Amino acid sequence: MPNYKLLTPGPLTTTDTVKKEMLFDHCTWDEDYKQITRKIQRGLLALAHADESRLLELAQVSEQEYTAVLMQGSGTFGVESVLTSVIGKEDKLLICANGAYGERMADIASHAGIAHEVYRVAYDCIPDAERIGEILDGDPSITHVSMVHSETTSGILNDAESVGKVVKEKGRVFILDAMSSFGGVDIPVADWGIDFLISSANKCIQGVPGFSFIIADRRLLEESAGKARSLSLDLYDQYKTMEKDGKWRFTSPTHVVLAFAKAMEELEEEGGIPARSRRYRENNRLLISEMKKLGYDTYVGSDVQGPIITTFLFPENAGYGFAEMYAYIKERGYAIYPGKVTEAETFRIGNIGEIYKEDIEKLAQIISDFQKEHKAR
C-alpha cells in the first residue's frame, strides 16, 4: 500500500523515530516500564503548567494540586471515564455543545444516567461565557460544567479561559475536553480554572492511538472515590493504582506508551508548546490563504478559527464531490477529512502532526491540478 501523510486531527502523521519505538516488546511489570509511565505523568503536568515533571509540566500545574492519570482506550474513553467517575448521583452536569463532540458528551451522560442539561449554540459560534454564568445562576443544582476546547467538527477554538473563569466564580467544577488542542495550544490549566482536562496520545503531542490521559485536580479526584459507574473506566481506581509505582490496573498499551514517551521528547526538542503551536498556526494560516486562492472559503470566522483543523465550503456548482477529490489527493500522498457539519457541503483539512509548510504548498498544488483536470473533462 502506498504511504501517505494524514491531514487530519489525529491519528496523525508521526515521525519515523516515534514509530520505531514500537518495535520493542516491554513487560508491564518491569520497573523500567513503570518508570516510563511515571515520567510521562510528570511531563504532562509540566505541559499543563504543573511541576510534577513531564505531562504535568505540559499542563503547567503543581504535583501537589494536580495529577496525571493515563487511561486505556481512545479519547472518548477518557471523556467517559471522567464524566462517569467524578459526577455523583446527586450532581448535575451542564454540557456546552457546538459540535459533534459536545453532543457525544450528552450521549455519554444519557447512557450513564447522569443528570444533565445541554447549552447548544450553532456549530460556527462559540459558547458564551456570560450566558453560561446566567444558566448557572438560574439552576443551583448544576455542579459540573463540560466543554470541548478544539471542536474538530468545524475547526472552531472555544474560549476555555473565559468559560473556566465564570465556572470558578460560580463555584462549579470545570471539565475540559482538550483532545485536539493540548500540546499544540498553550493551556495553563490551573490559571484557567480547569479541574479535569482530557486529551489523547495521538493528537498534538504526536504519539499514536491507544490511550487517553486526564490532568486532574487531586482533591476533587480523591472526593470521587466510589462514584464510578464503570469498573474499567473508574478514574479514581486507576489513579490509586498508578500512584503507587506507575503500574496500570489492566493491560496497558505498551508499544503506544513507548512511542508516546519518545513523542514527548521530540516535543521538547522542537521547543515545547510555544514552538509547536507556532508551527501549527503558520501551517493553518498558509492553508487558509492557499485554499482561498483556489476558491474555498472557511466555514467559521477568522476570529474563532482554531489552528488544528479547518472546515472548508465546497464552491457552488463545483461539479465534483468529496470522494472524487479525496481519491485524487490520496493518490498523490495526502489524506484529508470529510465534512461533519450537516447544513452545508464541506470538507476538512488538518495541519497538525509531522506536517510543515512544504506539505501545505504541495497540497495546494495537488488541489489546483485536480481543479484543472476536472474542468478539462
Q: What is the pLDDT of residues 64-107, one digit of tens each?
A: 889 999 999 999 999 999 999 999 999 999 999 999 999 999 99
Compute the Cα dihedral for 53, 58, 64, 70 and give only its sign.
Answer: negative
Q: How many CB atoms lie within 10 A of CB 202?
A: 27
- Interval 339-352: pLDDT, tens: 988 778 899 999 99
Q: Which of 137, 133, 265 is nearest to 205 (CA)?
A: 265
Q: In terms of DSSP H, where are the helices of the chain?
A: 16-20, 31-47, 75-86, 100-112, 129-138, 160-169, 218-223, 235-245, 254-270, 272-293, 322-331, 357-375
pLDDT at 303 over 50: yes
- Smallest Cα–Cα separation from 288: which of 275, 301, 276, 278? 301
pTM for this prediction: 0.95
Quick one: which of 117, 107, 115 has its CA closest to 88?
A: 115
Rounded average pLDDT over 132-157:
98
Structural domains in the chain?
15-268 (3.40.640.10), 272-375 (3.90.1150.10)
Find out whether 278 and 270 touch, Cβ atoms under 8 Å. no
pLDDT per position as a tens digit, 237-277:
999 999 988 889 999 999 999 999 999 999 999 999 999 99
Please give the pLDDT value at position 318. Answer: 84
The whole-chain average pLDDT of the chain stands at: 94
**Residues near 256 by beta carbon (within 8 Å), at least 6 away in sequence:** 22, 201, 207, 208, 209, 210, 211
Residue 226 has pLDDT above 70, yes or no: yes
Q: Count CB atoms within 10 A of the CB of residue 59.
A: 31
Q: How far apart are CA 175 and CA 170, in angstroms?
A: 14
Residue 59 has what pLDDT?
Answer: 64
Determine the average pLDDT of the residues in 178-200.
96
Is the CB of residue 295 less than 8 Å from the CB of residue 327?
no
How high is the pLDDT of residue 55? 59
Element (H, E) at 377: none
Of 210, 349, 225, 204, which is closest to residue 270 (Cα–Cα)?
204
Instruction: Determine the Cα–Cα distance for residues 344 and 336; give it in Å rounded to an integer.
Output: 17
Percentage of residues in the chain with pLDDT exceeding 90? Answer: 83
Give the Cα separation of 136 and 154 in Å (integer).
Answer: 27
Please write the tens of the pLDDT for every residue from 308-327: 999 999 988 888 889 999 99
Please name which of 215, 356, 198, 200 lies closest in space to residue 276, comparing C-alpha atoms. Answer: 356
